[in-house]
């Protein structure tokens, strides 16, 4: 696919709505799609409902990094498994995911960044992951000696990879469908059917489906959907702007980032660019409801945020977005099938300027297109992946905090194991639902 996924993208997955399944997945992003794949392969009858297009939102609007480097300690072993799974599905799809092993390089311009990189090497070694520090000269060599910026040092994990988000998740969805998963785009789930605290099914815009287990993996929309059933958790959304350049000579074959600019080599010969120090925060009702729990994160990250007084109309935390609706009414999920926030032109201009400043020999990069996505964020920068107390049969997997694309296969496999009652294989205590309500002290994870 040469263009990003939008509401204009033709519907590809329109399986008939069944009367009953074992599991319903709400949300056709990377987490939901991989969960559907592994559940179908485990012999479960699974329905995946996507209100708009598969991967239409953040799962195709991200940077395309598949990195172990810099991960939260609790996520690192899951991410290492996710990388193995990416290699498997890329082979199964005949390379359609665009997976390439090119490493992730973090360049340090400050003593603080150098300290963080040195700490990471120790963490990686504990898990048997090969990461190593680079001298300033080695960093320059990594960029074919084309960089004029003199970073103090660097950090690289050679086994890290990249993929093409516009292609990868739809390709995996075809695998899931072939394995027996029922996939339905343009089919919003309006509500859960609940009897005596137990999930019995879902109400979709196309009718009811009996289902004893449900996975809510709706990204930026998860909190709004859950709130309708009085399930509360402090998820907010941030806008991230990304741009694509025209084809250029190859500087490096993976992903790279310093404190200001993130870059990834693309299969089409260009680069994906994004600012590493800037996201947009649109103020809404949930921003005030959850302000207290975000204060520790804001103390360290507020300089990287642009604040706007409101989300666009109908967005998950818009001032006029309904928080309650009838099962017979059109819902917010049907009014906006695909979130399409406008990219920041100012940020795109900065990306081009910063790229040119680092690699002046390549001149001003030609930006061919830019887009934005709404990132589902959590106050400790790690997700919820857990059963919901008092709602037997409901699992929530959300709040990936811009890290979901790379780790998606790992969480998808974990969700399948949680559904089937198998051992998840990892310590999931860090991602428990209750951490926001039982007085736990939150530990803030890595922000990149």
Within its chain, how far is the Cα of 99 from the centroid? 17
Domain extent, residue 406, equals 20-103+159-436
Please give the Cα distance from 92 to 105 (Å, whole number). Answer: 28
The label of the residue with tokens 């498997």 reads: 88
- Say what the pLDDT of residue 300 is: 85
Mean of pLDDT values over 87-98: 98
Please give the Cα distance from 72 to 30 (Å, whole number). Answer: 19
Terminal CA-to-CA distance of the chain, rounded, Å?
Answer: 27
- Alpha carbon separation from 261 to 31, 333, 339, 370 (Å, rounded): 27, 33, 25, 15
Where does a domain end: 122, 142, 158?
Answer: 158
Any domain includes 383: yes
- Say what the pLDDT of residue 59 is: 98
Any domain includes 402: yes
Q: Quick check: 210 pLDDT over 80?
A: yes
pTM exceeding the 0.85 threshold for the entire prediction: yes
The H or E element containing residue 89 is helix 76-92
- Say what the pLDDT of residue 378 is: 97
Q: Vertex 27, ends 26 and 33: CA angle to 5°?
A: 105
Q: Quick check: 1 pLDDT over 70?
A: no
- Banded pLDDT at 165 (limits 50, 70, 90): very high
H helix runs in 263-341, sequence order: 285-289, 291-301, 332-335
Any domain includes 6: no
CATH number at residue 224: 3.50.50.60
Say whether both 223 and 131 belong to one domain: no
- Say what the pLDDT of residue 55 is: 98
Q: Let me know if 289 is exposed, middle or buried by CB neighbors in 10 A (0-12, 13-18, 19+).
A: middle
> To the nearest whole number, what is the mean pLDDT of the chain?
96
The pair of structure tokens assigned to 195 is 């009897």
Cα dihedral 107, 110, 116, 120 sign: positive
Mean of pLDDT values over 434-440: 92
Say whether both 24 and 137 belong to one domain: no
Q: Quick check: 448 pLDDT over 80?
A: no
Q: Answer yes or no: are the C-beta atoms of 281 and 307 closer than 8 Å.
A: yes
- Say what the pLDDT of residue 3 is: 83
Q: Vertex 287, ends 226 and 219: CA angle to 5°?
A: 40
For residue range 381-433, list pLDDT tens digits in order.
999 999 999 999 999 999 999 999 999 999 999 999 999 999 999 999 999 99
Where does a domain end: 158, 173, 198?
Answer: 158
Please give the Cα distance from 315 to 332 (Å, whole number). Answer: 8
For residue range 37-69, list pLDDT tens digits in order.
999 999 999 999 999 999 999 999 999 999 999
Mean of pLDDT values over 206-222: 98
Mean of pLDDT values over 172-177: 98
The beta strand positions in 158-254, using DSSP E, are: 161-162, 182-184, 189-195, 198-204, 207-216, 236-245
- Say what the pLDDT of residue 440 is: 87
Q: Answer yes or no: are the C-beta atoms of 281 and 308 closer than 8 Å.
A: yes
For residue range 154-163, list pLDDT tens digits in order.
999 999 999 9
For residue range 3-39, list pLDDT tens digits in order.
899 999 999 999 999 999 999 999 999 999 999 999 9
Say whether both 400 and 358 belong to one domain: yes
Question: How many domains is the chain partitioned into structurally?
Answer: 2
Within its chain, how far is the Cα of 348 from the centroid? 21
Work out the widest C-alpha separation in the chain, in whole angstroms. 67
Tally of CB atoms within 10 A around 180 = 15
Where does a domain end: 118, 140, 158?
Answer: 158
- Banded pLDDT at 73 (limits 50, 70, 90): very high
Give the pairing of strands 104-108 and 46-49.
unpaired
- Banded pLDDT at 353 (limits 50, 70, 90): very high
Please give the Cα distance from 283 to 240 (Å, whole number). Answer: 15
For residue range 247-282, list pLDDT tens digits in order.
999 999 999 999 999 999 999 999 999 999 999 999
Say whether both 254 and 139 belong to one domain: no
- Banded pLDDT at 303 (limits 50, 70, 90): confident
- Say what the pLDDT of residue 401 is: 95
- Say what the pLDDT of residue 301 is: 87
As a whole number of Å, the CA-based R_g of the chain is: 21
């Amino acid at each position: 696919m040469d263009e990003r996924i939008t509401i204009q993208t033709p519907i590809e997955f329109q399986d008939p709505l069944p009367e009953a399944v074992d599991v319903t997945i709400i949300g056709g992003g990377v987490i939901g799609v991989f969960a559907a794949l592994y559940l179908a392969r485990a012999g479960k009858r699974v329905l995946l409902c996507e209100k708009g297009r598969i991967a239409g939102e953040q799962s195709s609007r991200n940077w395309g990094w598949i990195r172990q480097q810099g991960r939260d300690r609790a996520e690192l072993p899951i991410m290492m498994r996710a990388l193995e799974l990416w290699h498997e599905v890329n082979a199964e799809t005949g390379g359609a995911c665009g997976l390439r092993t090119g490493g992730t390089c973090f360049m340090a311009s400050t003593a603080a960044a150098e300290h963080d990189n040195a700490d990471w090497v120790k963490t990686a070694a504990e898990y048997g992951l090969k990461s190593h520090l680079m001298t300033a000269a080695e960093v320059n060599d990594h960029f074919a000696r084309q960089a004029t910026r003199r970073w103090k040092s660097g950090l690289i994990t050679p086994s890290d990879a990249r993929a093409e988000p516009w292609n990868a998740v739809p390709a995996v969805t075809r695998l899931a469908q072939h394995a027996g998963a029922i996939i339905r785009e343009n089919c919003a789930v309006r509500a859960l059917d609940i009897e005596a605290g137990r999930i019995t099914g879902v109400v979709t815009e196309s009718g009811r489906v009996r289902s004893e287990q449900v996975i809510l993996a709706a990204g930026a929309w998860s909190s709004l959907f859950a709130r309708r059933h009085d399930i509360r958790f402090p998820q907010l959304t941030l806008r991230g702007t990304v741009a694509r350049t025209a084809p250029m000579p190859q500087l490096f074959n993976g992903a790279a980032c310093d404190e200001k600019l993130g870059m990834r080599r693309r299969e089409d010969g260009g680069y994906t660019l994004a600012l590493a120090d800037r996201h947009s925060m649109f103020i809404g009702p949930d921003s005030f409801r959850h302000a207290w729990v975000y204060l520790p994160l804001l103390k360290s990250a507020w300089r990287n945020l642009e604040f706007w007084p409101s989300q666009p109309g109908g967005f998950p935390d818009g001032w006029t977005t309904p928080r309650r609706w009838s099962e017979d009414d059109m819902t917010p999920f049907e009014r906006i099938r695909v979130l399409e926030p406008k990219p920041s032109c100012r940020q795109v201009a900065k990306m081009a300027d910063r790229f040119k400043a680092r690699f002046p020999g390549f001149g001003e990069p030609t930006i061919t297109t830019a887009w934005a996505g709404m990132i589902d964020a959590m106050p400790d920068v790690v997700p919820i992946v857990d059963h919901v107390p008092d709602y037997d049969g409901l699992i929530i997997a959300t709040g990936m905090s811009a890290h979901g694309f790379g780790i998606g296969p790992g969480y998808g496999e974990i969700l399948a194991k949680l559904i089937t009652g198998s051992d998840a294989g990892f310590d999931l205590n860090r991602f428990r639902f209750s951490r926001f309500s039982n007085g736990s002290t939150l530990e803030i994870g890595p922000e990149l």
